[in-house]
Amino acid sequence: MAKIHFTLQGKGGVGKSLVSALIAQHRIDRNVPLLCIDTDPVNATFSTYKAFSVQRVELMKGNKIDAGQFDHLMELIVSNPDGDIVIDNGASSFIPLSGYLVENDAVSVLQSMGHEVVIHPVITGGQSMVDTLTGLDTLASQFPSSAQMIVWLNEYFGLVERGGKPFEQMKVYESHKSRIHGIVTLHQQSELFERDMNTLLEHRMTFAEAKQSPDLNFMAKNRLLMIQKNIWSQLDLVLGVGNRAGIAKEAVADVS
């Protein structure tokens, strides 16, 4: 049956669409059947990745969230019983979607049909860290313990640490560690690595597309391959390897 990934966080601009795009790319590279859905009613970034054939669920009716569209989302999910389903959600619809899933006991419904539900909260360093930690606490408190949680630590705005303590020593982690299935860290990058990653994001390119791009030089492609290998090695541990005939056997020379 399907493994359903919800990327959720109430704070905007913390990298939810990036996380969704990375999950999608990893599953494609591991030859896992994939359905991608974008429910962000304001910034439909996930939909702009041509490589994923993302389906849009239009949640807005006028200036309000149309709660009935969440039923349509569930229909999309259950009509694709195999592979993985990646659902990207925006900050503006975080509360309505989370409320719908909890009120309708949607996680238990999906699990009773044999599906696996994984929640992907994003924690970022810098000024938004407290808000994102609060978001994680809310998700972990509201959703049933049967829903796995994979926490993403996005260090783009700074290290995820508080009072010198890393995330794994914070109170919110200690409170919910029994249901946190894994942690994926998007590490801080030095100048050239960060520049190349920003180019990737600005052009909505996948790592595979970047490898073939005539606009990136050999060293830029090599740096992106290094970033990809680091993230993929973490995702192999928390999501499974599927068919490993992906980047594991690639040599640096292959990026030219």
Q: Read off the pLDDT of residues 26-42 as tens digits, 9 standing for 90 and up.
A: 999 999 999 999 999 88
CA dist., res. 78 & res. 74, Å (int): 6
Answer whether 42's CB lies under 8 Å from 54's CB.
no
Please state, as a whole number, how many other Cβ atoms lie within 10 Å of the Cβ of residue 166.
13
Q: What is the mean pLDDT of the chain?
A: 91
Buried b (16+ CB within 10 A) or exposed e, 169-187: ebebbeebeeebeebbbbe
From residue 152, alpha-carbon distances to 15, 103, 253 in Å are 9, 25, 30
> Is residue 254 very low, low, confident or very high in pLDDT (cuts 50, 70, 90)?
very low
Domains of the chain, by residue range, sit at: 3-255
Tell me yes or no: is domain 3-255 CATH 3.40.50.300: yes
pLDDT recorded at residue 169: 97
> Is residue 161 very low, low, confident or very high in pLDDT (cuts 50, 70, 90)?
very high
- Mean pLDDT (whole number) for 211-215: 95
CA dist., res. 143 & res. 9, Å (int): 13
CA dist., res. 77 & res. 240, Å (int): 21
Whether the full predicted model's pTM is greater than 0.85, yes or no, is yes
pLDDT recorded at residue 56: 93
> Is residue 243 very low, low, confident or very high in pLDDT (cuts 50, 70, 90)?
low
* β-pair partners for 160: none
From residue 190, alpha-carbon distances to 32, 150, 193, 197 in Å are 32, 26, 6, 11
Query: In 3-state terms, what secondary structure has residue 31?
Result: coil
Q: Which residue has the higher pLDDT, 85 or 62?
A: 85
